[in-house]
Amino acid sequence: MTIIDQEVTPKLRRPERAVVAWLRLVRVYHKIDAATADRLRKHRLTVAQFDVLAQVGAREGQTQQELAASLLVTKSNVCQVLARMETAGWIERRHFGRANRLYLTPKGRSLFDDVVLAHEGIIADRLGALSSEEQITLLRLLRTLDRSL
């Protein structure tokens, strides 16, 4: 039995508990990622394109800079992804003042409805092993950890 498969008990030292928690987090991420990656491939979407599609679809009219901040990537990376998505006919940039605002095209909205909503369903299904209360606890713990980094 590997350290990741051991039961977490008070007997585990603090560094070991932290490592086991991290390894389990990575394992869960990879399992969920594998379940969703196949769907993205079927639609010829990269993970970066999916992220942009999800963000723009959820909040149309945001600027490229706002999108870059929400994705935690550079503005130049976003520009490259947006250019490819614009060529594919999924995204439209509308110039307002000094900024480009982002909108889904009808083709992009259709893709959003198909891929993003299905993705959310896969995530909900995978996390369905946890009760509502456990999911709330997990969210709180992950938020605390995220803010500390």
- The tens digit of pLDDT for each residue in 49-100 reads 999 999 999 999 999 889 998 886 777 888 899 999 999 999 999 998 888 8
pLDDT at position 17 over 90: no
One domain, residues 28 and 58:
no
What is the average pLDDT across 29-48?
89
> How confident is residue 39, by pLDDT bands cut at 50, 70 and 90?
confident
CATH of the domain at 70: 1.10.10.10
Indicate whether 145 belongs to any domain. no
One domain, residues 55 and 99:
yes
Indicate whether 107 belongs to any domain. yes
Domains contained in the chain, number: 2
| pTM tops 0.85, yes or no | no
User: Got the DSSP string for 11-77?
Assistant: TS-HHHHHHHHHHHHHHHHHHHHHHHHHHHHHTT--HHHHHHHHHHHHSTT-BHHHHHHHHTS-HHH
- The tens digit of pLDDT for each residue in 103-114 reads 999 999 999 999
One domain, residues 92 and 37:
no
Judge contact between 82 and 64, C-beta under 8 A.
yes
Give the gyration radius of the chain's Cα atoms.
19
What is the average pLDDT across 127-149?
95
Domain membership of residue 9 as a residue range: 1-42
Indicate whether 115 belongs to any domain. yes
- Range ranked top by mean pLDDT from 33-42, 44-53, 105-114: 105-114
